[in-house]
């Protein structure tokens, strides 16, 4: 006896077709806003000449007594500039920052919600499992239908891909607060809101900042994949090197991706060290 196949493919296809036909009035303005934000941030980051940008970053780091980080960041950015990938790096950086920023705006409140609400935790946790286990390329498919080819689809892909680590880090931080401290706060008559805002969240800050670090790293990696659906930047150079079998360009652009990711990682980790108890 043959077991009938569940028509998941038909359901998903019908749902995507309905959304693309009936929610176009919503997707077009979002795509326009995201594209303008990417262009605007890219222009801001590219306004200063590379050497001035690098000097300003190093000055800030030295002022914060991060001398080794300042030297390492300067060497990495100077190498990117020397290789001729500065403009592409600015585009990739703007994609990652916008996508990662929107992801954090959703992820941190969602992490608080699932840490404080068992029903929300039960519903959201399987969704996070699905989001984290789904291959990155799968995220590129539906957003092209909704937002078209370009920066907007890439940014939405970055948001969805980079959100789960920050949600989980926030939840772990809140649930990891010492039970004795919570009991002490309750003994002094703290309300649930006061307990969250004045006890749990301040103590969970190191975990939350680690989640921010992971979110930015995921956003950076997805910004490269997003070039497959029309987003520019270093990923576009990587794709072009694959299409033309240009080994040298592929290695150079890949090296620039690694360098900017390391700089972002060290910058966020320095914040973790500052906020750690």
Whole domain around residue 38: which residue ranges?
A: 9-47+84-275
Q: Is residue 60 part of a domain?
A: no
**Residue 11 token pair:** 């359901």
Task: Look at the chain and report how many structural domains it folds into.
Answer: 1
pLDDT, position 106: 93
Looking up residue 240, the CATH number of its domain turns out to be 1.10.3720.10
pLDDT, position 54: 92
CB 98 within 8 A of CB 155: yes
The angle subtended at Cα 200 by Cα 195 and Cα 204, nearest 5°, is: 170
Separation CA 253–CA 134 (nearest Å) = 26
pLDDT, position 128: 87
pLDDT, position 75: 93
Mark 52-89 as b/e (b = at least 16 C-beta within 10 Å).
ebbeebbeebeeeebeebbebbbebbeebbebebbebb
What is the sign, positive or negative, of the torsion defined by CA atoms of 190, 194, 201, 167?
positive
Of 92, 45, 47, the residue nearest 225 (C-alpha) = 92
Q: Is residue 78 part of a domain?
A: no
pLDDT, position 1: 54
DSSP assignments along 192-240, one per residue: HHHIIIIIIHHHHHHHHHHHHHHHHHHHHHHHHHGGGGT--SHHHHHHH
Q: Is residue 149 part of a domain?
A: yes
Q: Is residue 59 part of a domain?
A: no
Q: Is residue 199 part of a domain?
A: yes
Residues of the chain with pLDDT under 70: 1-2, 271-277
Q: Is residue 229 part of a domain?
A: yes
pLDDT in tens, 92-140: 999 999 999 999 999 999 999 999 888 988 998 888 888 888 777 777 7
Separation CA 234–CA 155 (nearest Å) = 15
CB 210 within 8 A of CB 271: no
Q: Is residue 56 part of a domain?
A: no
Q: What is residue 15's three-state secondary structure?
A: helix
Task: Count CB-CB contacts under 10 A for residue 205.
Answer: 15
Q: Is residue 260 part of a domain?
A: yes
């Amino acid at each position: 006896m043959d077991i009938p196949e569940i028509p998941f493919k038909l359901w998903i296809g019908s749902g995507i077709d309905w959304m693309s036909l009936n929610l176009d009035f919503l997707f077009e303005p979002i795509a326009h806003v995201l594209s303008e934000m990417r262009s605007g941030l890219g222009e801001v980051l590219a306004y200063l000449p590379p050497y001035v940008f690098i000097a300003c970053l190093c000055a800030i780091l030295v002022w914060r007594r991060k001398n080794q980080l300042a030297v390492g960041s300067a060497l990495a950015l100077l190498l990117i500039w020397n290789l001729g990938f500065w403009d592409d790096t600015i585009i990739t950086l703007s994609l990652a920052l916008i996508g990662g920023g929107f992801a954090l705006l959703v992820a941190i409140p969602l992490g608080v919600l699932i840490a404080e609400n068992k029903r929300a935790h039960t519903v959201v946790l399987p969704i996070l499992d699905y989001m984290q286990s789904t291959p990155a390329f799968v995220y590129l498919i539906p957003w092209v239908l909704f937002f078209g080819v370009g920066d907007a689809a890439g940014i939405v892909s970055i948001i969805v891909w980079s959100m789960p680590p920050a949600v989980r880090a926030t939840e772990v931080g809140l649930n990891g607060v010492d039970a004795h401290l919570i009991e002490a706060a309750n003994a002094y008559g703290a309300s649930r809101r006061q307990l969250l805002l004045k006890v749990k969240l301040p103590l969970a800050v190191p975990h939350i900042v680690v989640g921010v670090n992971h979110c930015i790293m995921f956003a950076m990696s997805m910004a490269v994949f997003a070039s497959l659906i029309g987003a520019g930047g270093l990923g576009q150079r990587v794709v072009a090197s694959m299409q033309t079998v240009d080994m040298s360009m592929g290695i150079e652009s890949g090296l620039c991706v690694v360098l900017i990711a390391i700089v972002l990682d060290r910058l966020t980790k320095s914040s973790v060290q500052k906020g750690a108890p």
